[in-house]
């Protein structure tokens, strides 16, 4: 494969942003959380049950995801619900599922 680089223009302006996103996704615990959130909005107890990630690890990792604007929260009484906030992250999670999780 010999790409024709004479007509290709690369925009590297978002390289740092993409790198930071991939660093966040590279953690297996955060990846599990995002996997279950790709299908539905879930509360902390549901995420814990589906991923077998326990406190305080779950809270720490959810905070990191929230700080990187990958998830958002909604409070309903004492329950806090999480959902994927960034459509790009959702698309990425769906793509990763297709590539690695389907037989």
Share of the chain above pLDDT 70, in %: 92
Between the CA of residue 87 and those of 2, 56, 76, 83, 91, what are the distances in Å?
Answer: 33, 27, 23, 11, 6
Per residue in 9-51, pLDDT (tens digit) is 888 998 999 899 999 999 999 999 999 999 999 999 999 999 9
Entry pTM = 0.84
């Amino acid at each position: 494969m010999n790409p024709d680089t004479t007509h290709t223009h690369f925009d590297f302006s978002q390289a740092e942003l993409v790198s930071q996103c991939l660093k966040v996704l590279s953690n297996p615990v955060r990846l599990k959380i995002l996997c279950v959130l790709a299908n539905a909005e879930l509360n902390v107890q549901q995420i814990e049950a589906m991923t077998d990630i326990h406190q305080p690890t779950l809270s720490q990792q959810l905070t990191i995801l929230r700080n990187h604007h990958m998830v958002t929260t909604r409070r309903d009484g004492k329950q806090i619900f999480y959902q994927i906030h960034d459509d790009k992250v959702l698309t990425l999670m769906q793509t990763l599922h297709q590539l690695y999780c389907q037989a």
